Chain A
């Protein structure tokens, strides 16, 4: 019986493990790598020597060797992890800076203007117009329950009207109960609920904010976008008031030569409902490609609050009536600045950002 090439395998293994433990720096570890786990290691040499064995013997010996190899590889990797963590800790320690000792007057920074985001800047302009018209500005959350985003707005579960919005659902609660808001309208519901609770009607508010729709981004759409929503609940409010507010806003924001018109439309939360269109800002109503030769471009939706919505939030429809409207902030920015591709808004390319002030 010949001596197995693996007779001293466990001794070799012990020696390799000891060698690994002796290494104290990453550089040394890298240097030792071929000798411990690489081609020049004793294990590689043993592997080659297995060629001379009979097939069954070779199989058994191979498995034995493989097991040792695995242990050595593991120990090596573990050692590398330890040394890397050590090296990082040392580097961080060497880098330590007590920020309490920073002498602020000695810090010199380049003097250069920054730039506001175009969406934020547009939102501010819109808010200013509405504040001047007597509106209070309100905020609302981006994650909503389906009650606020849909059902209180007269869009019951499984109703086909829910298909009007491509909704991102959040993995919380029962399926389809938590959503990224698809419009700013849920903030209307919050405002009305609160006002009813506090006896604080009437409401004259606008609600800007970020919304989400499950839409593959292209030159005209982003999956995240910004809307501004308006809500008036007061005594004696009629469709004529809605049309008047839309017209006043249009003149104030777009200029005196741009006017508005309303066209029948369907939104579950308003009745009567309308799309509102404004004079095409490109051709000033003459007809061009942007407005498909009509002289008008669509800006948003609006309408009188549906009695079902008032009922959902507990507003007495015999005493109070109201209207709501909403449109895209990004779309206003796109129109005003002629942004050819909306994706530029989320690219954060400095060459784009620095054009706005």
Chain B
């Protein structure tokens, strides 16, 4: 909201400096987002008359203009062409500094000297018009040499751009801001000058007003204005409107806008000649009724709402023939618009149900200055005060206008102003400090709250404060107002203490250990998009239902990811295309499963009042790594998993190949990670399917990409189990014997299973490590040689050769159970 200080100061005496004022407004929660110094830099600009125009040789875009600004002829080079000899235009002489700090100097070009600059309105910061020079003859009767500001009657001014919070409709006006300021500063608030109805016949003799649906329209006032002469507004009012960011249109429309900006009450003038029966009626729109609004759009009314909580209701204003004139509180129709020939005006000033306006405005995607105010809540008591102000403003250009006696005023349903109790100690409990009751009372009364009662106060909100609720919530609303006006910065601070210690959850702690381990192993943590395209989704799960965004920013970001792989491979590809592909990229993040296919869909409440049970997507947290360094492949992935598992103390997870490898992973070079005891599946290790690499990284150098894709739920459980098992073994102090054993083993037997058998075969086995795998001519087809490094030791003695030989034989015997024969 733009407020010129010249306007604000009509209601309250302002602090001495603008900086002080903006500081106070910020502290009141009326945040100043911009300060514009109007007229600054125009002190040196004067009125000049064009005396001659001639071409400059060799220049076709500029001409040499001779002007007189009171000190004889002055030659100026000018690029504009919208003027003729005899016109008056603004001249910035040499030495003047224009808004924005642009200093005018004498410049020589094409052999002539330009002694100043002729200006457009935009160059002077006076309007947006930059179609040539500002032709002063159109707006005033200019005199040569006159200072421009004086000639235009423009005083220097400061315009504040104030952001008003959504719960402060009462502050969304010049008077509202002034009321907060007056209360904070302890200065009197001046009332605006109001007209009163003239002593004529009653308005009811000329016009009619009715409310059919009092729940939608809380109050409808219709004032009859006669002998209206539509014309331009006086310059100072037009100027005020311009500074506030609105375009002057005509005295009637301008008065309506000025009143809205000044007091916060939107009003709507109708040409009485175009309102059948000179009757205005507020009612529910009927399904399918049609209205063409002032913006030229044909709108079908009362359509069942598409948005949540939308009743599909519209409130309309109709005339005596039941013809729809406008969407109440939002926008009028073209038919009854004020025109140059209007002589009688019906002025509507009303109160509409805020939620009805909010829903209509959203459904019709139609916002106006009026709807923005009505949907937040306009003071229901304000209507006729606003009309009094309207008439006072209109009289400045239309002194003969008559406001007929007894304006029509129909009541609908308005909630009574809430009264809340403020008990002794309520403020101390809420704010942590007891304030002086006299200060509190001054604040509340300054804001026009009524305070009564000794002991507990009964505080009644003024009609403008539609944000104040009843009961405990209302008390909080009142306390906020007290704290706000008192000043948040003056309230004390204290540090609360409680006995419960701070902590991470187990999962968060394991997540941190996993991140640390990943970084230690050389992974760069990435953050890839949650939202992808249908094509991305099809790469991994074409037949699966997907979790779709209803209103995506782009089709490429419309489906929730089912895997981290697509994002990681694409991120790797982008780096690889720049020659930076020697890297492992990893991510910890959620993937989303449609509730129709989720093993554990989340059920939760939703809808209006949370009355509906909803199935939400299952969110699975995964940890995935894509390995793209030179030489990385499924083996690297296995070794990386082994290191990671070791870091988390996880020992009992085996690498098992199955045929059911998910799409996107290499079908013959990917294995499951399975906990042996429980068969819980931790995830996958292997390579990215070359087809997926082709699809996502076609422009990157062709490479195998190792991959790890883990389910964080299982990983966390395993890591927690490992933490719970805290016992350690002290190694034998006696020398160990190291023996290599190679077995010929059928392809079906897992190397890790054989190692397990060997481990269990003798109490002296300390460790078994696979160190070589051989396939080829020296081994039968369908089998391979697995060579293990076995450490024997005894806790109580140095093992003899015979001890070792016995133990070795025990291992060889045990291996036969798996069909493994010692390789000779």
Smallest distance from the beta carbon of B429 to chain A beta carbons, Å? 6
Report the Cα distance A311→B609, complex, angstroms: 13
* A residues in contact with B582, CB < 8 Å: 110
Report the Cα distance A337→B191, complex, angstroms: 52
Asked if B49 is at the interface (CB within 8 A of a chain A CB), the reply is no
Report the Cα distance A135→B480, complex, angstroms: 26
Asked if B711 is at the interface (CB within 8 A of a chain A CB), the reply is no
* A residues in contact with B473, CB < 8 Å: 271, 306-308
Knowing A93-B668, A99-B669, A264-B28, say if A137 contacts B550 (CB, 8 Å).
no
Report the Cα distance A59→B635, complex, angstroms: 63
Asked if A98 is at the interface (CB within 8 A of a chain B CB), the reply is yes
Say yes or no: B619 contacts A346, CB within 8 Å: no
Say yes or no: B606 contacts A96, CB within 8 Å: no
Asked if B638 is at the interface (CB within 8 A of a chain A CB), the reply is yes
Of residues 508 through 544 on chain B, the ones whose CB sits less than 8 Å from some CB of chain A are 508, 512, 515, 518-531
Asked if A245 is at the interface (CB within 8 A of a chain B CB), the reply is yes
Of residues 582 through 610 on chain B, the ones whose CB sits less than 8 Å from some CB of chain A are 582-586, 588, 590, 592, 595, 602, 604-610
* CB closest residue in chain A, given B26: A263
Say yes or no: B476 contacts A349, CB within 8 Å: no
Main secondary structure on A side of the interface with B: mixed
Asked if A219 is at the interface (CB within 8 A of a chain B CB), the reply is no
Q: Which one, A100, A114, A164, A307, contacts B518 given CB within 8 A? A: A114
Q: Which one, B31, B428, B495, B608, contacts A241 given CB within 8 A? A: B495
* CB closest residue in chain A, given B575: A350
Smallest distance from the beta carbon of B369 to chain A beta carbons, Å? 14
Smallest distance from the beta carbon of B793 to chain A beta carbons, Å? 20
Say yes or no: B491 contacts A239, CB within 8 Å: yes
Say yes or no: B612 contacts A131, CB within 8 Å: no
Knowing A114-B584, A346-B529, say if A102 contacts B639 (CB, 8 Å).
yes
Asked if A176 is at the interface (CB within 8 A of a chain B CB), the reply is yes
* B residues in contact with A5, CB < 8 Å: none
Smallest distance from the beta carbon of B744 to chain A beta carbons, Å? 14
Report the Cα distance A132→B526, complex, angstroms: 28
Report the Cα distance A112→B28, complex, angstroms: 55
Say yes or no: A212 contacts B505, CB within 8 Å: no
Say yes or no: A169 contacts B526, CB within 8 Å: no
Asked if B642 is at the interface (CB within 8 A of a chain A CB), the reply is yes
Smallest distance from the beta carbon of A305 to chain B beta carbons, Å? 9
Say yes or no: B500 contacts A204, CB within 8 Å: yes
* B residues in contact with A173, CB < 8 Å: 606-607, 612, 614-615
Of residues 772 through 819 on chain B, the ones whose CB sits less than 8 Å from some CB of chain A are 772-773, 784, 786
Knowing A177-B308, A223-B553, say if A353 contacts B524 (CB, 8 Å).
yes
Asked if A261 is at the interface (CB within 8 A of a chain B CB), the reply is yes
* B residues in contact with A304, CB < 8 Å: 430, 476
Say yes or no: A134 contacts B606, CB within 8 Å: no
Report the Cα distance A119→B589, complex, angstroms: 13
* CB closest residue in chain B, given A276: B488
Knowing A223-B557, A266-B165, say if A172 contacts B552 (CB, 8 Å).
no
* B residues in contact with A139, CB < 8 Å: 505, 507-508
| One of B354-362, B394-402, B436-444 contacting the partner | B354-362
Interface string of B475-502 (1 = CB under 8 A from A): 1110110011000110111111110111
Say yes or no: A169 contacts B551, CB within 8 Å: yes
Asked if A88 is at the interface (CB within 8 A of a chain B CB), the reply is yes
* CB closest residue in chain B, given A298: B31
For B525, B608, B610, the residue with the greatest tally of chain A CB atoms inside 10 Å of its CB is B525
Report the Cα distance A208→B588, complex, angstroms: 14
Interface string of A211-237 (1 = CB under 8 A from B): 010101000000110000000101011
Knowing A114-B524, A240-B433, say if A262 contacts B489 (CB, 8 Å).
yes
Report the Cα distance A98→B753, complex, angstroms: 14
Report the Cα distance A308→B433, complex, angstroms: 23
Report the Cα distance A271→B560, complex, angstroms: 35
Asked if A95 is at the interface (CB within 8 A of a chain B CB), the reply is yes
| One of A34-42, A50-58, A73-81, A151-159 contacting the partner | A151-159
Q: How many residues of B contact A (CB 8 A)?
A: 143
Say yes or no: B666 contacts A92, CB within 8 Å: yes
Say yes or no: B503 contacts A131, CB within 8 Å: yes
* CB closest residue in chain B, given A271: B476
Asked if B504 is at the interface (CB within 8 A of a chain A CB), the reply is yes
Asked if B431 is at the interface (CB within 8 A of a chain A CB), the reply is yes
* CB closest residue in chain A, given B363: A158
Say yes or no: A264 contacts B488, CB within 8 Å: yes
Interface string of A248-270 (1 = CB under 8 A from B): 10000000000001111110100
Asked if A197 is at the interface (CB within 8 A of a chain B CB), the reply is no
* CB closest residue in chain B, given A152: B610
Of residues 657 through 700 on chain B, the ones whose CB sits less than 8 Å from some CB of chain A are 657, 666-671, 685-686, 691
Report the Cα distance A202→B571, complex, angstroms: 44
Asked if A196 is at the interface (CB within 8 A of a chain B CB), the reply is no
Say yes or no: B502 contacts A172, CB within 8 Å: no
Say yes or no: B433 contacts A272, CB within 8 Å: no
Report the Cα distance A238→B547, complex, angstroms: 42
Say yes or no: A105 contacts B769, CB within 8 Å: yes
For A147, A180, A265, the residue with the greatest tally of chain B CB atoms inside 10 Å of its CB is A147
Interface string of A186-222 (1 = CB under 8 A from B): 0000000000000000101000001010101000000
Say yes or no: A170 contacts B476, CB within 8 Å: no
Q: Which one, A102, A105, A240, A350, contacts B493 given CB within 8 A? A: A240
Interface string of A322-350 (1 = CB under 8 A from B): 00000000000000000000000111111
Say yes or no: A117 contacts B29, CB within 8 Å: no
Report the Cα distance A160→B583, complex, angstroms: 48
Interface string of B748-772 (1 = CB under 8 A from A): 0011100000000000000001111
Q: Which one, A171, A224, A273, contacts B548 given CB within 8 A? A: A171
Asked if B85 is at the interface (CB within 8 A of a chain A CB), the reply is no
Say yes or no: A175 contacts B515, CB within 8 Å: no
Smallest distance from the beta carbon of A289 to chain B beta carbons, Å? 15
Say yes or no: B502 contacts A130, CB within 8 Å: yes
Say yes or no: A137 contacts B508, CB within 8 Å: yes
* CB closest residue in chain B, given A293: B19
* A residues in contact with B602, CB < 8 Å: 141
Say yes or no: A95 contacts B432, CB within 8 Å: no
Say yes or no: A350 contacts B583, CB within 8 Å: yes
Smallest distance from the beta carbon of A191 to chain B beta carbons, Å? 12
Report the Cα distance A214→B362, complex, angstroms: 17
Knowing A223-B553, A241-B496, say if A124 contacts B606 (CB, 8 Å).
no
For B358, B473, B657, the residue with the greatest tally of chain A CB atoms inside 10 Å of its CB is B473
Report the Cα distance A347→B309, complex, angstroms: 39
Asked if B580 is at the interface (CB within 8 A of a chain A CB), the reply is yes
Knowing A137-B508, A238-B432, say if A103 contacts B772 (CB, 8 Å).
yes
Say yes or no: A216 contacts B553, CB within 8 Å: yes
Say yes or no: A114 contacts B519, CB within 8 Å: yes
Asked if A321 is at the interface (CB within 8 A of a chain B CB), the reply is yes
* B residues in contact with A164, CB < 8 Å: 166
Say yes or no: A348 contacts B494, CB within 8 Å: no
Report the Cα distance A115→B265, complex, angstroms: 58
**Cross-chain pairs A/B with CB under 8 angstroms, 18 sampled:** A97-B669, A98-B747, A99-B657, A100-B654, A100-B671, A100-B751, A101-B784, A110-B582, A110-B629, A127-B504, A157-B310, A173-B615, A210-B590, A224-B529, A239-B491, A264-B483, A271-B480, A306-B473
Given contacts A113-B522, A161-B166, A170-B549, 14 further A-B contacts (CB under 8 A): A92-B666, A99-B670, A101-B773, A131-B503, A137-B504, A137-B505, A147-B604, A157-B307, A178-B606, A234-B496, A238-B429, A263-B488, A264-B484, A348-B571
What is the interface of chain B, defined by CB distance below 8 A to chain A?
Answer: 26-29, 31, 165-168, 305-310, 355, 358-359, 362, 375-376, 428-433, 469, 471-473, 475-477, 479-480, 483-484, 488-489, 491-498, 500-505, 507-508, 512, 515, 518-531, 547-553, 557, 560, 571, 574-575, 578, 580, 582-586, 588, 590, 592, 595, 602, 604-610, 612, 614-617, 619, 629, 631-632, 634-636, 638-640, 642, 654-657, 666-671, 685-686, 691, 747, 750-752, 769-773, 784, 786
Nearest 8 pairs of A and B residues by beta carbon: A157-B309, A240-B432, A264-B29, A145-B606, A238-B432, A266-B165, A272-B480, A147-B610
